[in-house]
Amino acid sequence: MHRIDIIAGARPNFMKIGPIVLAIEKHNATVEKKIEYRLIHTGQHYDKKMSEDFFTQLNIPEPQLNLGVGSGTAATQTANIMLRYEEAVKDWKPELCIVVGDVTSTMACAIVAKKEWIKVAHVEGGIRSGDEMMPEEINRMVTDSITDYFFTTTALANTNLGALGHGEEKIFFVGNTMIDSLLGNMERLIQPPLWNEYDLENKGYLVMTLHRPSNVDGYENLRQLLSLINDNVGDKKVVFPMHPRTKKMFDQFGIAFEKLIVTGPMSYLEFIYMIKHSAGVVTDSGGITEETTVLNVPCMTLRNSTERPETVTMGTNVIVGTDPNNIVPYLEKLIAGDWKSGSIPDLWDGKTADRIVEMVAQL
Measure the CA angle with vertex 38, ends 37 and 42; round to 5°.
Answer: 150
DSSP symbols for 89-137: HHHS--SEEEEETTSHHHHHHHHHHHHTT-EEEEETTT---S-TTSHHH
List contacts with ligand UD1 (CB under 6 A): 10-12, 44-47, 50-51, 71, 103-104, 135-136, 211, 243-245, 285
Q: Which is nearer to ligand UD1, 43 or 200 (CB)?
A: 43
| Residues paired with residue 99 on neighbouring β-strands, in sequence order | 122
d(CA 112, CA 107): 9
Q: Which is nearer to ligand UD1, 11 or 308 (CB)?
A: 11
Q: Which is nearer to ligand UD1, 49 or 333 (CB)?
A: 49
For the question of residue 41 being annotated catalytic, the response is no
Least gap, CB of 136 to ligand UD1 (angstroms): 5
Tally of CB atoms within 10 A around 328: 14
Catalytic residue among 41, 45, 211, 277: 211
Question: What is the distance in angstroms between the CA of the first residue and the CA of the last residue of the chain?
Answer: 6
Q: Which is nearer to ligand UD1, 56 or 71 (CB)?
A: 71
Residue 4's nearest CA partner among 120, 105, 153 is: 120
Residue 275's nearest CA partner among 176, 187, 202, 173 is: 202
Least gap, CB of 104 to ligand UD1 (angstroms): 4
Active-site residue numbers? 211
